[in-house]
Chain A
Amino acid sequence: MTSVASGIARKKKVPLSAILLRLSSFLIMGVAVYWLGINFAHSPQEFAQVTINGLNNGLLYALIALGYTLVYGIIELINFAHGDLFMLTSVFSFAVLTELLGAQSPSGKNYALLLVVLLFTMAFGATLNVTIERLAYRRLRDAPKLAPLITAVGMSFVLQWIGLKWIGSVPVNVNTVLPSGKYHIGGVEIAYKTFAVFLITVPVLIILAFVVDKTRRGRAMRATAQDKDASRLMGIDVNKTISFTFAIAGAAAGAAGIMWAQTIGTVAYNLGFQLGLIAFTSAVLGGVGNLYGAVMGGLIIGLIQAYNDGLSIGPGQRWSQSMVFTILILLMVYRPGGLLGETAQEKV
């Protein structure tokens, strides 16, 4: 608004609104730090406990958020069906591990089965996601943006319907193979399940980040995300690269799906709506299109929910969603591109 010619030795006039915006951001951060601080002082054990719970859920959100962000990054599509894909992978893992293989209690054999079915579930998620892209999105790649968006919404309903036919309308309990005990360190209890989530999701996240950042395929993905025609001129098979991206997104959702079923203990046909929304929010919070942003967003939302639900001085569980979205809205005001996102001008 103020036409300040740069380089001229004249005092830059900063608009009042910018000062207020900056001050208010400090104020909000101050309140948040104060709130966490008094809770920490009140009971450090509780604080640590809640943090661990938050990270547990956050890691699962991060895996799903990865799928939104990868797909958006490469074809600028908000894949509304992704949450439901996650739901189907959790149903698949239940059908295979719990029902078909009958692994319903902790034992050495069942841990091994869990790892095997984890791989199968990831493969299932990858195959399903690649198929969805092939059937529903590829033909619309050059169509106006709204067309594939609507197809994605439609696909979401199709997947929900498949879930409904598969396990019915009532949430199903999953007898987990993970041990129910807890590990105690200094007054903090960490469930063995939580360890399992860390042990499985962290390596999966690291491997996926490695694939995107360091491998030839990953470089092709990043090139395709930036400029499809230029990528073709490099000899990159753009269709194949997009399929590969959907495969990675589906595999991550698969890992989240089986761990969800095993740690939360229920699967339901409408699981995808809620989780998809949270994961999509994570992706936006972190800066959609940015891999690390999605992971960060997922962890932050997991933590916000956990602090809000678990800390003794706080609004409590009823305010959980409101808190998450208040923070999302505030963040969007101050950083419209998300935490690690670039400013909007980049994408030409």
Chain B
Amino acid sequence: MARLNTPVMLKISDLTVGYGAITAVKGLSLEVREGEIVSVIGSNGAGKSTTLRTVSGLMKPKSGSIEFLGEKIDGIPGHEIVAKGICQSPEGRRIFPKMTVDENLDLGAYLRKDGAAVKEARERVLELFPRLRERINQKAGTMSGGEQQMLAVGRALMGNPKLLVLDEPSMGLAPVLVDLIFETIETIRKSGVTILLVEQNALAALRIADYAYVLESGNLKLEGDGSKLADDPAIAQAYLGG
């Protein structure tokens, strides 16, 4: 698939982020256009999650800027970024283990005041993940990893995002579930949500992506259309296990 010709939604320019003395992301520039699936791949420690955490306002950049729909969003607190339309399903799922599936979903819609629309969103999420409907009153911490992942994605969708940010949605899941998650990501995109995806499962992430970026120890190494990168022998060798 190739890059869409739509307006730019998220524009990261020359972003540098670090933890104390360690610089995790070095001068990264990246673009997500409306309606796209953009994948960011790279090995452990490449700076993928740090980038997403910075987009969601959980970390402050050392330099560079992030613009969302033409508005500068770097440096504003995380909870305000959600209000602008960026919802994230974070690395490690981070569901609220002591709350039920139902309460977790409600928290996803924490900022929304339109009761009827929230109800609709919940219905869509439960249609997308019928398993969650079966577990609706179960404590989220007692569910399997796959179910928790569905909950994390569903919870992010409850916020009615313009841009859905997914950090390693396939991590630790059985192969059948991995396929299901990737199919669901495409379904979500079809419903009009733009997606920024970070994955270690590089091949699957490249196949569904319109455009992709390859990070290596904090630097942008390569970028290009998802399908092209998927067929690139150099990429195959480095990230797709030969």
Contacts and interface: CB of A to CB of B under 8 A. Distances in A.
A230 B103 contact: no
A234 B78 CA distance: 9
A233 interface: yes
Given A219-B103, A219-B107, A230 B79 contact: no
A211 to B, nearest CB: 16
A223 B99 contact: yes
A230 to B, nearest CB: 4
Interface stretch (A93-101, A107-115, A132-140, A235-243): A235-243
A220 B159 CA distance: 15
Contact of A216 (B56, B98, B110): B110
Contacts of A222: 96, 98-99
A233 B103 contact: no
Given A219-B106, A223-B107, A229-B90, A235 B99 contact: no
Nearest to B152: A230
B110 A234 contact: yes
A232 interface: yes
B98 A346 contact: yes
Nearest to B94: A230
Interface in B72-125: 77-79, 82-83, 87-88, 90, 94-99, 103, 106-108, 110-111
B69 interface: no
Contacts of B77: 232, 237
B82 A233 contact: yes
A220 B110 contact: yes
Nearest to A229: B58
B148 to A, nearest CB: 12
B90 A233 contact: yes
A252 B88 CA distance: 36
Nearest to B106: A219
A226 interface: yes
B96 A235 contact: no
Nearest to A232: B78
Interface residues of B, number: 26
B94 A235 contact: no
A227 B94 contact: yes
Query: Which of A220, A229, A232, A238 gathers the greatest number of chain B CB atoms within 10 Å?
Result: A232
B79 A235 contact: yes
A233 B87 contact: yes
Residue of B56, B87, B96, B103 contacting most chain A CB atoms (<10 Å):
B96
Contact of B94 (A220, A233, A346): A233
B57 interface: yes
A16 to B, nearest CB: 33
Contact of B159 (A219, A230, A234): A234
Nearest to B107: A234
Interface string A194-225: 00000000000000000000001001101100
- Max chain A Cβ within 10 angstroms of own Cβ: one of B57, B90, B103, B110: B110
A230 B90 contact: yes
A8 to B, nearest CB: 24
- Among A219, A227, A230, A234, the one with the most B-chain Cβ atoms within 10 Å of its Cβ is A234
Contacts of B79: 232, 234-238
Nearest to B156: A233
Contacts of A346: 97-98
A90 B87 CA distance: 46
B240 to A, nearest CB: 30
Contacts of A220: 107, 110
A179 to B, nearest CB: 45
Contact of A226 (B56, B87, B99): B99
B96 A226 contact: yes
B94 A234 contact: no
Interface of B: 56-58, 77-79, 82-83, 87-88, 90, 94-99, 103, 106-108, 110-111, 155-156, 159
6 contacts: A219-B103, A222-B98, A233-B78, A236-B110, A237-B77, A237-B79
Given A232-B77, A234-B110, 20 more contacts: A219-B103, A219-B110, A222-B98, A226-B97, A227-B94, A230-B96, A232-B58, A233-B58, A233-B78, A233-B87, A233-B94, A233-B156, A234-B79, A234-B107, A234-B108, A234-B155, A235-B79, A235-B111, A237-B77, A346-B98
